[in-house]
Amino acid sequence: MTVGVALCCKDGIVLASDSLATFSRGAPVARFTNKLYIVKHTDLLHPIAIAGAGMTAFIDKFVDRVVRTGIESAAKATGGKLDIVDFVERVAETVVSIMLKEYMLDRNQFFRAPIGEFELSMLVSGATAESADNAPQLRAYNIHSIGIGEQIEGYR
């Protein structure tokens, strides 16, 4: 079980997570790994912080897809750089939904039996775009394994 925490501070958001991962190769094996990521991209207004929970292979695949194609695609579609809201709605939800389809639904159909679980959820945090009258707002979201992002209210 992963524990992730998002704290809103005066100067930014602090994202923290435990580092113990358990995986199975016939018998459960524990190891320490990084579950925190900072995503920087030329098509992002501000860096995005991610704390992943679930199978580390899914977390790594998510981050890789987001950086390689997801952010650039969404930025082209919107015609500008992405803030945290755009990232959640146009990148994170889309990539998680595609991964759920590929690694759970399509594989179960191909093998004609349930072959595993799609284990991926994340805390995602960052800043909104600046408006004419306000500075950027800090926001945190829970990205559920079914591809839905939910803003975390009152995480401060």
Quick one: pLDDT at residue 130? 83
With beta carbons less than 8 A apart as the criterion, state whether 101 and 17 touch: no
Which structural domain range is residue 102 located in? 4-151
For the cut 80, the answer to whether the pLDDT of residue 155 exceeds it is no
**Residue 11 domain-assigned?**
yes
Q: Domain containing 24 — which CATH number?
A: 3.60.20.10
- 85-96 pLDDT, tens digit per residue, is 999 999 999 999
Q: Give the pair of three-digit tokens for residue 68.
A: 């390689």
Residue 156 lies in a domain: no
Instruction: Quote the percentage of the chain above a pLDDT of 70.
Output: 96
Q: Are 91 and 98 in contact (CB under 8 A)?
A: no
pTM higher than 0.85 for the full model?
A: yes
What total number of domains does the chain contain? Answer: 1
Mean pLDDT of 131-146: 87
Of residues 7, 16, 62, the one with CA closest to residue 35:
16
